[in-house]
Copies of this chain bind each other. A is one copy, B any other.
Amino acid sequence: MKIKCCKTNLLAVQDTMDILKGRWKVQIIAALCYDKMRFSDLQKEIEGISAKMLSSELKDLEINQLVTRTVLSTQPITVEYQLTDYGQTLKKIIEHLAEWGVEHRKKIIGKVIEN
């Protein structure tokens, strides 16, 4: 598909960003990319996130049908989150973001060494 530079595409980009907005959503999706995870494991995996934010961000993602929430009748209760098929369609984007981030960090480190 050919993307042209016009308002339609600016809006399309914005639609996507609206769903991924906030400090944590992309990281949550990235963490779920390769496996379902429990709430507490997600919180360990994602450095610095509070339970409140994890909970509310997951709810947003659930509303947008990117993740499913499964309550397990363990004692005490545990909850598993997992990407939906639809959520999986974001995987490629996440991978690109990660690759770019890695390259960017290299570039920054290179600069630091130069000086």
List residues of A whose CB falls within 8 A of some B CB. Answer: 1, 3-5, 7, 9-17, 19-20, 26-27, 30-31, 33-35, 45-47, 86, 89-90, 92-105, 107
Chain B: minimal CB distance from A34 (Å)? 4
Between-chain CB contacts (< 8 Å), 12 pairs:
A1-B102, A5-B33, A9-B30, A10-B45, A10-B47, A12-B102, A13-B98, A16-B104, A17-B26, A89-B103, A93-B93, A93-B96
Copies in the complex: 2
* B34–A13 touching, CB < 8 Å: no
Q: How far is the CA of A47 from the CA of B12 in the complex (A)?
A: 13
* A90–B98 touching, CB < 8 Å: no
Chain B: minimal CB distance from A103 (Å)? 8
Q: How far is the CA of A5 from the CA of B18 in the complex (A)?
A: 24
Q: How far is the CA of A103 from the CA of B86 in the complex (A)?
A: 11
